[in-house]
Amino acid sequence: MSEEEHQHPTSHYVKIWAILLVLLAVSVTGPMLEIQWVTLLTAFGIAGVKAYMVAVKFMHIDQTPRFVTYLVTTTLVFMLLFFAGTAPDVMKDHGTNWEKPAWIAAEAAYAAGEVSHEPEHH
C-alpha cells in the first residue's frame, strides 16, 4: 500500500492544495457572520481539518509505522494534561491569598464598555 501511495500524480497534490484553500476561505468568512459558535467552529474546527489533511496527505503520516501517530497523539494528550493542570490557576483573577490587580482593573473597564485602551491612543 505504501508504495502505491507514493506514486500519487501531481494533480492529486494540487487537488489537496485546492481543498485547503477552500477551507481557508471558509475559516476567514465564517467569523464575518459574527456568531460566536460559528466563529469557533470555522476557526478551530477547520484548523483541525487542515492540520489533519497536511499531516496525512503531505506528511504521509498514514504511511509511516503506527507508533508515529501514537507519538504525536501522546504529545497532544500531554499538552491537554498541562492545560488541565495549569488552567485552574492561571484562569482565575484571584485565589487563596492572591489577586491580579491589573487583570481585575482591565476587565472592569472592559465590562463598563470603556473605549478601547490600545496603546496608540496614549
Partner 1 sequence: MAESIPVGHGSDDADHGEHGGHHEMTFGEKYIFPLDHKMISMQYMFTGMFMAIIGGFFAYAFRMQLAFPGMEVPGWGHVSPADYNSLVTNHGTIMIFWVAMPVLIAAFGNYLIPLMIGADDMVFPKINRLSYQIFLLSAVIILAAFFVEGGAFGGAWTAYPPLSTKAEYNLTPLGQTFWIVAVALEFVAFLLGGINFITTAMNSRAPGMKMWDIPMVVWMIVIASILFMLSVGPLLAGGIMMIFDQQVGTAFFDPDQGGDPVLWQHLFWFFGHPEVYVVLLPAVGIVAEVITVFSRKKLFGYKTILYTAIGTGVLSFTVWAHHQFISGIDPRMANVFTVTTLLISVPIAEMMFVYIATLYGGSITLTTPMLWALSFIFEFLIGGITGIFLGASGNDIFLHDTYFVLAHFHYTFYPIAIIGTFAGFTFWFPKMFGRMMNDGLGKLHFWLTVIPFNLIFLPLFVLGTAGQHRRIFDYTNFPDLALPWMQDLRVLATVSLCVMLGAQLIFFYNVITSWMSGPTAGKNPWNSNTLEWTATSPPPHGNWPEGLPTCYRGPYEYSVEGRESDFWPQDEPA
Partner 2 sequence: MSARPIATTRSTSGMPTPRLAVWWVIASEIVIFGGLLGSYIMHRIAHGAWAEHAANTNVYFGTTNTFVLLTSSLFAVLAHQAAERGEGKKAANLLYLVIGGGAIFLAIKATEWSMEISHGMTITANTFWSFYYTAAGIHALHVVAGMIIMLFVAQTAKRNEELHRVEIIGIYWHFVDVVWIFLFPLLYIAK
What residues line the site for partner 1 (CB under 8 A)? 74-75, 78, 81-82, 85-86, 88-90, 92, 95-103, 106
Of the two residues 90 and 115, which places its CB atom closer to partner 1 in the complex? Answer: 90
Binding positions for partner 2, rule: CB under 8 A = 6, 8, 10, 13-14, 16-17, 20-21, 24, 27-28, 30-31, 39-40, 42-44, 46-47, 50-51, 54-55, 57-59, 64-65, 67-68, 71-72, 74-76, 78-79, 82-83, 86-87, 90-93, 103, 106-107, 109-111, 116-120, 122
Residue 113: DSSP 8-state: T
The distance from CA 47 to its chain's CA centroid, rounded to whole angstroms, is 6
96 binds, among partner 1, partner 2, none (CB under 5 to 8 A by kind): partner 1
Q: How far is the CB of 60 from partner 2 (least distance, A)?
A: 8
**What are the Cα distances from residue 56, in Å, to 53, 68, 93?**
5, 12, 41
C-alpha cell at 110: 472592559
64's contact among partner 2, partner 1, none, with CB below 5 to 8 A by partner kind, is partner 2
Task: Transcribe 57-108 into DSSP letters.
Answer: IIS-GGGS-HHHHHHHHHHHHHHHHHHHHHHHHHT-SEETTEE-HHHHHHHH
CA distances from 96 to 3, 15, 27, 89, 93 (A): 59, 55, 41, 10, 11
Cβ nearer to partner 2, comparing 84 with 96: 84
